[in-house]
Amino acid sequence: MKFPCRIDKFVSHINELPRSKVKILIKKGEVSINGIVTKKSDVQITREDSVEVSGKLLKYLGKRYFMLNKPQGYVCANSDELHPTVFDLLDEPNLKDFHVAGRLDIDTTGLVLITNDGEWSHQITSPKKQKYKTYLVETKEIITEEALEQLRQGVALHNEKQLTRPAQAQAVDKYALRLSICEGKYHQVKRMLAAVSNHVVELHREKISDIELDHELSAGEYRPLTEHEIDIINAK
């Protein structure tokens, strides 16, 4: 939300009410600015003004940032007719203003970052910024050193002319590897493993840049990012 803004827009945004209902409240004298009742819907307010509706103080929470441990079966969308979304797991106001910074497939688990700060999330999602996303990948076939080297150099995805950017790939055991990529192509990790004649059985995102999934978060749980974690994205 940008300031200054109209009082009816502010109240509508914070209370998640239609603008028409807010205007009725204002006409009834239910809205005050800095302790003074206003009956004009187009009055401009600043971030510093104190607004009350029916005696209740409204607070603009500003930019917010969360990490979520995404379970399987949830989609990274604000709404979906067929599946639950990651936003169903958040108990926060004004979720309509939020978006996922780097989506995961419905069957992929792990770190999801959610924010209402578009500039911040662009730092994560833009390929030009080269923010690495790290995944723990369990595979159907044994991980060979030859396959790891191919992933490190870049592989040809089906129906794409250019190779993927060089990845960081390290074997964890015979049937698992840790893979870091700085792109966000459609089903990229699954397609990269297919390109080296393997198949992803399970996929879990552990890190975005240097923000690591909090191990204390169970599947479906979330928490606000720390100031340090927020700054990590802006600093690189």
DSSP at 128: G
Structure tokens that stand for 84 in this block: 């639950």
Structure tokens that stand for 83 in this block: 């599946």
Cα dihedral 128, 118, 212, 72, rounded to 10, equals -100
Strand pairing class (65-70; 133-139): unpaired
Element (H, E) at 80: none
> CB count, 10 Å around CB of 180?
15
Say whether 105 is catalytic: yes
User: Comparing C-alpha atoms, which of 235, 228, 183, 236 is closest to residue 67?
Assistant: 228
Annotated catalytic residue, options 49, 88, 97, 105? 105
Per the CB < 8 A criterion, the answer to whether 110 and 69 are in contact is yes
Contacts of residue 14, defined as CB under 8 A and 6 or more positions apart, other chains included, come to 58, 59, 60, 93, 94
Instruction: Please list the active-site residues.
Output: 105
